[in-house]
Chain A
Amino acid sequence: MSLIATQRRVRPPRRRARVGRREAVQGWLYASPTAIFVLLLFVFPLLLVLQMSGSDWPLLGGNRGPNVPDNFVQAVDNRFFVDSIVFTLKYTAVATVLLIGLGLGLALLVQESSRWQNLLRVSFLVPSALGLASASLLFYVLYSPIAGPASGLLAGTGFTFLGTPNAALFSTVFLIVWRFAGFYMLLMLVGLQGIPGDLYEAARIDGAGRWQTFRSITIPLLKPTLALTTIMCVTGSLLAFEQFYILTKGGPDNSTITIVQLIYSVAFQGQNDLGVAAALSVMALLALVVINMAQLRAFRTDER
């Protein structure tokens, strides 16, 4: 009697558990393609980099066993460590201010001008169709004092686009603005179109001027878009590589070495030490996580 009662009490949950388990298996099957990719392309390389950063690992010699924390000490002692951080932050600040400002400006321009809208939108967006490396090569030729179209004019003045540290920085920033302004314009445009038109109408009826409307309606309602673009732009600029690798190679006089370039040169151009390069990567990764968390938090509290 008591046995039957127990059985009766137990059976329904067991059936439910079986159904639940089948659902769980099904769920895992659905998730497995993504899980496998994440595992293969993210988790596994990440663990490999962590292992490298703690090992004596020359490029040509392979793994020679752990040596914590030598790689980190060497990475910090690298003669370009501080310079590359300072330069990367400087470049990030310049690029982010210009790209966000110009992206927003162009978006407003395109939105306001109803007649030329399509032409403007296409002409700003076309550079985005070009890969960054190809764009860098294109500008390498344009800036070249031998092959560039302006070489004849510049020959007399002694000015070269990539000749001095500041010229090299701003020539590269110009390339980045040319390449990405249209892309950020598009993101801003989507954000702008999400703002209901009646809000502007109400503001106009209340007698608000253009500047007031922009400050009190456009900017607050555009905040999610601004957050997205700023995070993308800051992260992208902190990881800048192709443009400097192709245009300046870190020159002139080692004035334009970014962090990722430093990692690359430690790994493949001379020192050939994957361990130290991995240690630099790990530090860059941690810094990025912290910076992104701070940015997300800043924008989140504002939203509330």
Chain B
Amino acid sequence: MHPFHRRGARSAVTAFGVAAAMLGVAACGVGTTDTTEEAVEVSAEGTDDGTQLTLWTRAPLEKQANLLVEEYNATHENQVSLTVVPNDDYVAKVGAAAGSGGLPDLFAADIVYVPNWVEQGLFRDISSNVDALPFKDEINQGHLAAGTSDDKEHVLPFVLDLSMLFWNKELFEEAGLDPEVAPANLEEYAEAAKAVQDLDKPGVYGTATGLNCGGCLVFTWFPSIWAADADVMNAEGTEALFTSPEATEVLDTWQDLWDSGAVLPSSRDEAGPTWTAGFTEGNVGLMFYPATLLSSTPFDAGVAGIPGPGGGASTFVGGDGIGISKDSENAEQAWNFLNWMMSEDAQVEVLAQNNDVVSRADLANNEYAAEDPRLVTINEVAAQGRTPVALNFQQAYNAPNSPWLTLVRDYVLNDGAGNLEQNNQQITDILSQ
């Protein structure tokens, strides 16, 4: 009896010791995140020597990522193996890999998260190579700025996704609206939505949005505020400005639209997965919609910039930025991919040919865009668009329980216009952390 006890105690101590030792090892592995990552300075072209590169991206950009990687692999010695991660799991996966030093050579990030991830040291500084690009000033400035910290560039635009006003020309014609003319301001937008609603066709609604999807609302409602020459945050991204007259006008318009029944009812609970489905199926009159879906919209749709109250046009320059990870041992080869990605070959012959937006202004008027005037419109509005920069963007806006979602839902759905001040403060509290 007694020896057992003593032995038990001794083994417990041993077990604890082993565990503690392992913990120590693990802590070293996890804990040594180098914030002073080395800058990448390689030859302008990088190296193409048949190295196997890894690249991660999130599922919404799968189509564009596949096209780029296939073309690169077909024309280069280096081979990129692409991993596509579901949108909701991407941050967790990158976080786990960053902690254990297992990030791929190249990885893309939602542009609104880029400032934070650059700050955390996940991307290597590629400024000397970016600065050497002859067309540097033509690269989309919103994306470049998001990845710039201490005047050093860390990311390049991978895929641009712009929010645009799309309208269903057939439904417009039925509702007695001019199918060739876009609503000039947010008031006309609301009138058009109500006109389509008044057709009283079963299953057809004026407009739609994702009222339980912080990311969708950021993507489609911020531009209305920008179009009215107001801003959503201060320049540092530490203070929310949704109590401005311009922002309240946008919120009022949507509240009125919701109350009038012109918004697809399922929009209320729409958390993201199917927020564009109603329009794509041809059951919604007009909508603020991602430009990347232009090629997969099966009917004749008109495209214009997102108007604000009183006119103007703007867009959210979203999508993903891409950079070389802190854990990459193949920086020269990874730069070779980035350098090719920015070239005319990739931008025009891969992206533009497949109706995607190019990320270089000097290539906006390419031969493919000329065939479809809607692409020219998108490329032009891109220049007037913005990319908001804030370190705590995800927590403040995109997270499922973000205060931004509370603000919008309180105002538009729950008659809580009186809470605006307080909800705006909640966002500021998180932004300024």
Contacts and interface: CB of A to CB of B under 8 A. Distances in A.
B15 A43 contact: yes
A162 B269 contact: yes
Most interface-central of A28, A39, A269 (chain B CB within 10 A): A269
Nearest to B93: A268
Contacts of A253: 406, 409, 414
Contact of B19 (A43, A251, A270): A43
A245 B11 CA distance: 41
Which of B3, B271, B426 neighbours the largest number of chain A CB atoms within 10 Å of its CB? Answer: B271
B432 to A, nearest CB: 14
Nearest to A163: B269
Nearest to A152: B203
B74 to A, nearest CB: 34
A51 interface: yes
Contacts of B32: 62
A250 B30 contact: no
B104 to A, nearest CB: 15
A250 B269 contact: no
Contacts of B426: 79
Nearest to B212: A251
Contacts of B409: 252-253
Interface string A134-160: 000000000011110000000100101
Contacts of B7: 24
Contacts of B18: 39
Contact of B30 (A28, A62, A160): A62
Contacts, number: 119
Contacts of B384: none
A254 B3 CA distance: 56
Interface in B380-423: 392, 394-396, 398-402, 406, 409, 414
A35 to B, nearest CB: 7
A51 B400 contact: no
B27 A63 contact: yes
Interface string A36-63: 0001000110011001000000111111
B351 interface: no
Contacts of B117: 60
Contact of A251 (B91, B398, B400): B400
Nearest to B15: A39
Contact of B271 (A60, A63, A251, A265): A251
A35 B18 CA distance: 12
Contacts of A80: 401
B388 to A, nearest CB: 16
Interface stretch (B64-72, B94-102, B371-379): B94-102
Contact of B269 (A28, A147, A252): A252
A267 B95 CA distance: 10
A249 interface: yes
Contact of B266 (A47, A146, A265, A271): A146
Contacts of B27: 51, 63
A51 B95 CA distance: 18
A257 interface: yes
A147 B278 CA distance: 11
A270 B99 contact: no
Contacts of B122: 60
A61 B395 CA distance: 16
Given A253-B406, A268-B95, A270-B399, A145 B265 contact: yes
B263 to A, nearest CB: 13
Given A163-B269, A270-B401, 6 more contacts: A44-B26, A61-B121, A63-B27, A63-B33, A160-B265, A160-B269
13 contacts: A47-B19, A59-B92, A59-B98, A60-B116, A62-B31, A63-B31, A80-B401, A160-B266, A251-B271, A252-B269, A257-B401, A270-B392, A270-B398
Closest A-B pairs by Cβ, 9 of them: A270-B395, A270-B399, A63-B31, A62-B33, A59-B95, A145-B266, A268-B92, A60-B120, A249-B400
